[in-house]
């Protein structure tokens, strides 16, 4: 990914959490671009080029998806299931970033093939450190492959 613009798809309905995540990633220059959507339906539209994202230029493939579990319209687990069962999107790393530390939520996320599960820290400084570490791991150190395309 050296030299390639880095894109994160942030799926978060809480404006305060979204702001903290974006600030944490931007402060450490982790991503060139963060595309934020506020519900699961918009995330699926973005990833599968539907609705307002029908034009592929409007919705480039993200390098990683940061996904909350409790979302309006389509919940995070359903988004995760659809991402991980599609040949085109299943290789995109999906990091669950949520307030829930319930064992059943963690197990369900991993059963649906989440790549990581992180509980949002309450402390601001700890949250900022988590964003730094998360960004460096998934976008700088982790080796990923490009997803297969359905284009000739």
Per residue in 53-85, pLDDT (tens digit) is 998 777 888 988 999 999 999 999 999 999 999
Domains of the chain are 9-135 (3.40.50.2300)
Q: With contact defined as beta carbons under 8 Å apart, do 148 and 72 qualify?
A: no
pLDDT tens for 111-140 read 999 998 988 878 888 877 777 777 666 665
Q: Would you state the pLDDT for residue 114? A: 95
The CA distances from residue 111 to 76, 88, 105, 152, in Å, are 13, 20, 10, 33
Stated pTM of the model: 0.85
| Mean pLDDT computed over every residue of the chain | 84
- Kindly indicate the confidence band of residue 9, based on its pLDDT and cuts at 50, 70 and 90: very high
Asked if the model's pLDDT at residue 152 lies above 60, the reply is no
Among residues 34, 41, 26, which one has the least CA distance to residue 65?
Answer: 34
């Amino acid at each position: 990914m050296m030299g390639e613009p880095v894109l994160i798809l942030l799926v978060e309905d809480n404006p305060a959490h979204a702001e903290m995540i974006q600030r944490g990633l931007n402060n450490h220059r982790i991503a060139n671009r963060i595309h934020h959507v506020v519900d699961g339906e918009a995330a699926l539209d973005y990833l599968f080029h539907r609705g307002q994202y029908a034009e592929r230029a409007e919705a480039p493939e993200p390098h990683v998806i940061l996904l909350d579990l409790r979302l309006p319209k389509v919940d995070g687990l359903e988004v995760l299931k659809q991402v991980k069962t599609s040949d085109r999107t299943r290789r995109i790393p999906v990091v669950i970033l949520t307030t829930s530390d319930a064992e059943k939520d963690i197990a369900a996320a991993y059963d649906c093939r989440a790549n990581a599960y992180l509980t949002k820290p309450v402390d601001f400084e700890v949250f900022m450190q988590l964003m730094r570490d998360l960004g460096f791991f998934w976008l700088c150190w982790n080796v990923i492959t490009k997803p297969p395309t359905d284009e000739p």
